[in-house]
A and B are shown apart, each in its own frame.
Chain A
Amino acid sequence: MAELSLTSIRKTFGDATAVETLDLSIANGEFLTLLGPSGCGKTTILRMIAGIAMPDAGEIRIGGRRVDGLPPEGRNVGLVFQSYALFPHMTVAANVGFGLKMRKVPRREAEDRIAAALDLVDLGRFAARYPRELSGGQQQRVALARALVTEPDLLLLDEPLSNLDAKLRDQLREDLRRLQERLRVTTLYVTHDQSEAMALSDRILVMRAGRIVEEGAPEALYRRPRTRFAAEFLGQTNVVRLIRRDGMAMLPWGEAMPDAQSDSAYVSIRPEDIALRPDPHGPGRITACTFLGPTVEYRVELAERSLRVRQTGSGTVLLTEGTGVALSLLVTPHPLAEGMA
C-alpha cells in the first residue's frame, strides 16, 4: 500500500492526444475514481501506471519510488482489466496463484494465500474450475482476487463492473466497497458510470478529452459542481442563465436568486431541487410527465426554455400535461464557473 502521484503525464497516439499534461495524486489507502465518458483517456492512464503503456512525458511515483522507467513486473500494482483477461488455460486457483508463482512464494504459503484470496471474493468452491466455466460476475471476482493476492502497493480497476447486468453490478459494487474498506489498499477506479463513482469513492476526478475537469468528494461534486460538464455528467441538471435586472439576479421564472452576491451568469439546478405548485397563472406549464415509481419526472415549459423537474414521495399528486405551475427553489443553487460551453 502506498500513495501514487503522476506529474505532468502526457500521452499521444500519432496525432491524437489521449492524455493531456496531467497531474494526479492519491493518498495512501484512498479510493479515487476517474470518471468520464468513453474515450476520454481513462484506460490509457491506468495502463501507463501499470507499465503496459509508456507516457510520452512526465513522472509516475508509487510510494515515493519513481516507476515510469520500470517494466510492469517491477511495479507491484494489481490491475483488473475491463475484459478481466483471465488466463484461459489455467484453473481459477492457478490464475490467482500466478502472481505468487512469479514472485517465487513457497508452495505451502502460496496455497494458503490463494485460498484466502478466493474466500475474500467468496469463490472458494470454484478453485478447480476453468474461467470459461464461470459466470461474468464470478470471472470478475477471480480477476479481483488475482490482482489482490500479491498484496500490491496499488490496485487499479478498469470499469470492472461494466460487463455485468444491473442487479449484479449493484451487489458487486457494495462488495467492492466493503473489501476496500477492509483492506485499505490504495485504489484507482475507472468508470463512466456516475452512480458507481459516487457510491464507491472517497474522491472523484471528472475527466473530459484527456484532461481533468474537476475534482472533489462525491457529495460536494454533485451538489456544488463548478463546471457545467461535471454538473451534467454527474446526473441530470438544469443549467440556467441568470437574468440581471436592477442589480438582482433573477431565475427564468422570475424568482430572485436568494444569494445574489455571485456575479456568475449560470447556475446548475438539479431537477429535485425545484418545487412545483399547480397554478393556472404560474409562469410554467407541464408538457410531459413520466411516472418512474419512486419519482415523477416533469418537463416544464417556461417562456424561453424548458426545465426538468423531479418530485418524490407518494404524497404528491400527479400533474397532467397542460397544467399551469408555479416554481420555487428548495435550496440555493450553486454558481458555475463562467465561460464553460
Chain B
Amino acid sequence: MSQSAEGVQIAKAGPRHGLVAADGRWITMGLGVATLLTLGLPLIVTALWSLMNPASGWFAPDILPPSLARAHWREALSDRTIPGAFLTSLLIGVCVTVLTAVLALPPAYALAKLPFRAKRAVELFVLAPLIVPGIIVAVGIGSLFFRLGLVYTIPGVILVQTIGTLPFMIRILAATIEGVPDDILHAARSLGAGPLQVARHILVPVAGPGFLAGGLLTFISSFEEFEKTFIIGAPFVQTLPVILWTYLGGRVIVFPTAAVVTFLLLAPMLLIFFLAERVLRDDVLAAGMGKV
C-alpha cells in the first residue's frame, strides 16, 4: 500500500528524479517489445508446432506452417503415456509439497524464534542442498536407494525431490514466522493455548501468505524437476519433464509431440502462476532466496 503511494509520488516527481531518465510510456513500450520477443514469440512458435499438420509438414522456407491440424494433440492425448505422465507429475508434486511442508515447519519455527547456539551452522546445513548440484545429490543417493529398493519408484522420486525443495521452504517459512511478533504468540499462550494450538490457530493463519507461497513454489519446482527424477526414477517413473526429454534427447527429435508435452507442462504452471500471482509476492520469494 505505502509502496504504491510512494510510486505515485515518484511519478509526480518526473524524469529528473528517477534513475531512468525516461518517460513511463517508453519503459512500457520497451518492456512490451522485449516480452513479446522473449515470451510471446516462443509460445506462439510452440503452439504452431503442436498444431502442425502431419500431412503437409512444416519445412524450411515457410515461416508459418502451411496448414494446421489437431492430429498431434489427439494422438498425444489418446496415447496412454502422456496423460499418465501428467497424473504422475501431479501426484508426485502434491506428495512432495505435503511432505516438504510437514518437515519444514518445525525447523523453520526453531530457526525463526528460538535462541540456540549452533543456529548459524544449522542454517548453513539446511541450505547445503542448494549449494550442491542436483545431479550429485541424485547420483549420491542412488546407491542408497538401490539398496533400499527405492530406485525406479514413485516414493523414491518423492524423497529425492524433497531434498531439493526443503531448503527453500524452510527459508521462506522461517522468514515469514520471524515476521510474526513474539507478543501475539505469548498472548495466545497466556490465554491458555498449548504449543500445538498456538501453531494451528495463530502461527499458521498469521504466517499464511508465506505458507501458501512456499507451498506453491514447492509444487512448481517438483512439477518441473528433471535431473533428480530422471536419475532416480527413469525409465519406470515417467513425469512430464522426463517424457519431454525422451522426445528431445533421442536420435529423432519429435518437435510436434514435444510441443504438446510442453503445453501440458506449462498449462498447470501458468494457471497456478496467474491464480497465485498475489500470493507469490516478490518479497516473500525474495525472502526465501535472497540470502544464502
Partners in one complex: yes
Majority DSSP secondary structure for residues of A touching B: loop
Closest to B14 in A: A54
Contact B13 A54 (CB under 8 A): yes
Q: Kindly identify, within residues 166 to 185 of chain B, every residue whose CB is under 8 Å from any CB belonging to chain A.
A: none
Q: Kindly identify, within residues 1 to 32 of chain A, every residue whose CB is under 8 Å from any CB belonging to chain B.
A: 13-14
Is the C-beta of A280 less than 8 angstroms from some C-beta in chain B? no
Q: How large is the interface on A (under 10, 10 to 19, 20 to 34, 35 or more residues)?
A: under 10
Contact A53 B8 (CB under 8 A): no
Is the C-beta of A258 less than 8 angstroms from some C-beta in chain B? no
Is the C-beta of A254 less than 8 angstroms from some C-beta in chain B? no
- Minimal beta-carbon separation of A162 from chain B (angstroms): 19
Is the C-beta of A71 less than 8 angstroms from some C-beta in chain B? yes
CB neighbours (8 Å) of B278 from chain A are none
Contact A71 B8 (CB under 8 A): no
Q: Kindly identify, within residues 37 to 82 of chain A, every residue whose CB is under 8 Å from any CB belonging to chain B.
A: 52-54, 56, 71-72
Contact A53 B16 (CB under 8 A): no
> B9 is contacted by which of A13, A71, A72 (Cβ under 8 Å)?
A13
CB neighbours (8 Å) of A56 from chain B are 12
Closest to A70 in B: B16
Contact A71 B17 (CB under 8 A): yes
Most buried by B among A14, A54, A71: A54
Q: How large is the interface on B (under 10, 10 to 19, 20 to 34, 35 or more residues)?
A: under 10
Contact A53 B13 (CB under 8 A): yes
- Minimal beta-carbon separation of B7 from chain A (angstroms): 11
Is the C-beta of B5 less than 8 angstroms from some C-beta in chain A? yes
Contact A14 B9 (CB under 8 A): no
Contact B5 A71 (CB under 8 A): no
CB neighbours (8 Å) of A72 from chain B are 17
Contact A13 B8 (CB under 8 A): yes
Contact B8 A14 (CB under 8 A): yes
Most buried by A among B8, B13, B14: B13
CB neighbours (8 Å) of B12 from chain A are 53-54, 56
Question: How long is the Cα–Cα vector from A14 to B4 in the complex, in angstroms?
Answer: 12
Q: Kindly identify, within residues 17 to 40 of chain B, every residue whose CB is under 8 Å from any CB belonging to chain A.
A: 17
Question: How long is the Cα–Cα vector from A53 to B14 in the complex, in angstroms?
Answer: 10
Question: How long is the Cα–Cα vector from A54 to B14 in the complex, in angstroms?
Answer: 9
Question: How long is the Cα–Cα vector from A13 to B10 in the complex, in angstroms?
Answer: 11
CB neighbours (8 Å) of A53 from chain B are 9, 12-13
- Minimal beta-carbon separation of B291 from chain A (angstroms): 15
- Minimal beta-carbon separation of A157 from chain B (angstroms): 21
- Minimal beta-carbon separation of A88 from chain B (angstroms): 15
Question: How long is the Cα–Cα vector from A297 to B141 in the complex, in angstroms?
Answer: 79
CB neighbours (8 Å) of A71 from chain B are 16-17
Closest to A74 in B: B16
CB neighbours (8 Å) of A52 from chain B are 13, 17
Contact A13 B13 (CB under 8 A): no
Question: How long is the Cα–Cα vector from A72 to B5 in the complex, in angstroms?
Answer: 20
- Minimal beta-carbon separation of A130 from chain B (angstroms): 19
List 14 other contacts, CB 8 Å, given A13-B8, A52-B17, A54-B13.
A13-B5, A13-B9, A14-B8, A52-B13, A53-B9, A53-B12, A53-B13, A54-B12, A54-B14, A54-B17, A56-B12, A71-B16, A71-B17, A72-B17
A–B Cβ pairs within 8 angstroms, 9 of them = A13-B8, A14-B8, A52-B13, A52-B17, A53-B12, A54-B12, A54-B14, A71-B16, A71-B17
